[in-house]
Structure 1
Amino acid sequence: MTAYDLYGFKGLAILEAKSEIEKKLNLCFEERESSYQGGVYYKFVSDGAESFVLKGNIDPFDGDPVEQMFSDYPVLLYVDMTLRSEEIKSLLSVGFDLLRHELFD
């Protein structure tokens, strides 16, 4: 089953979160910029369909949290179309909280 997961990071520095994720998951984010994503954000796309987006939890248009239910997390990590949700959860178990886990066929 394919999973779509959302993690929250309570540390204030997105670069700190980026560094931790890159070490723990052995990947390298690419810096990007988009007003839709709230300015600078980081993305990694694997050879397959799996992708990771790391960004701040601030809507650039109204200043409110993007994820209202998780407003106490300033940094968000979206893991999309992964087949290794449990492995990622285990590797990110320190410092990152799994906020949402959705499965699709």
Structure 2
Amino acid sequence: MAAYDLYGFKGASIFEAKSKIEGKLNISFEGRDSSYQGGVYYKFGEKESEVFIVKRNIDPFDGEPVEKMFSDYPVLLYVDVTLRSEEIKSFLGTEFNLLRHEFFD
């Protein structure tokens, strides 16, 4: 069963988080810009497979955190449709805190 994980990064820079994740997971993000995602964000992966999204924890429409329960994390990493949650968690280390771990059918 695929997992959907959310990590928080306390560093203020989305670029710093992106660079650290790329180095730890040996992936290369694509930069994108979307008002829905809060401006510049980074994505790796495609639909129906493992997808990583790094974005700021700010809703562009009201200025509130996107993830209100985790407002003390300025940068978020979403890992969707993964079968290797534990492996990713160990690669990311202590700089990225696992905030949510869910399964969906």
TM-score normalised to structure 1 length: 0.96
C-alpha displacement at 1:47, in angstroms? 9.1
> Which residue number corresponds to residue 78 of structure 2?
78
C-alpha displacement at 1:48, in angstroms? 6.4
Alpha-carbon separation, structure 2, partners of 1:39 and 1:48: 24
> Which residue number corresponds to residue 43 of structure 1?
43
C-alpha displacement at 1:17, in angstroms? 0.5
Change in Cα spacing, 1:46 to 1:37, as seen in structure 2 (3 Å) is closer
> Which residue number corresponds to residue 15 of structure 1?
15
1:18-74 deviation per Cα after TM superposition (whole angstroms, max 9, x unaligned): 010000000000000000000000000069600000000000000000000000000
Alpha-carbon separation, structure 2, partners of 1:46 and 1:59: 23
SS in 1 for 2:61: coil
Alpha-carbon separation, structure 1, partners of 2:92 and 2:13: 16
Change in Cα spacing, 1:25 to 1:47, as seen in structure 2 (3 Å) is farther
Tell me the amino acid that sits aligned with residue 85 of structure 2.
Answer: S
> Which residue number corresponds to residue 26 of structure 2?
26
SS in 1 for 2:23: helix
SS in 2 for 1:92: helix
Q: Alignment length, in residue pairs? A: 105
Alpha-carbon separation, structure 2, partners of 1:49 and 1:65: 27
Tell me the amino acid that sits aligned with residue 75 of structure 1.
Answer: V
C-alpha displacement at 1:96, in angstroms? 0.3
> Which residue number corresponds to residue 52 of structure 1?
52
TM-score normalised to structure 2 length: 0.96
Aligned sequence identity (%): 73
Q: Which runs of 5+ in 2 are unaligned?
A: none
